[in-house]
Amino acid sequence: MIHLTGKTIALLTTTLLAAVALTSAIADEKPPLLDRSQFSIGAGLSNNSLSGPFDDEIGFQIFGAYNLTAVNLMQGVYTSVEVGYMDYGFDGTDTNGIWATAVVDGPIAKNFGWL
């Protein structure tokens, strides 16, 4: 059985409170590694056809993207990365997988841009 004296309890309590205060101060100084507002997600459908004994199939994809604001090459040029999963819908063939891409884009006019 552990017997704690009043001095030991006071020392443990002081140490715990100091650790909590120090951790909070350090956490306030550093921003998070990734900014949640820079994430986006998406999904898509596709109508796919192959020559041969296959019928047309409906495929799908899901993806996530992150804007790399720290890697913008120049003013008006933006970069991002995307990672996703795509399935073309055909059974018995290797027509699905994970993909990744880097995207560079920028505006041309108010509602029009290049990719």
% of the chain at pLDDT higher than 90: 17
Check whether residue 64 and residue 87 sit in a common domain.
yes
Check whether residue 71 and residue 46 sit in a common domain.
yes
Check whether residue 50 and residue 76 sit in a common domain.
yes
Could you report the per-residue pLDDT of 37-75, keeping only the tens digit for each? 889 999 999 888 877 776 788 888 999 999 887 777 778
Check whether residue 72 and residue 18 sit in a common domain.
no
Check whether residue 20 and residue 47 sit in a common domain.
no
Check whether residue 68 and residue 94 sit in a common domain.
yes
Q: Which of 90, 79, 63 is nearest to 115 (CA)?
A: 79
pLDDT given at position 40 = 92
pLDDT given at position 24 = 58
Domain range for 98: 32-114
Check whether residue 37 and residue 24 sit in a common domain.
no
List of E strands, 4-114: 39-48, 57-67, 78-87, 96-109, 112-114
* Overall number of domains in the chain: 2
Check whether residue 14 and residue 40 sit in a common domain.
no
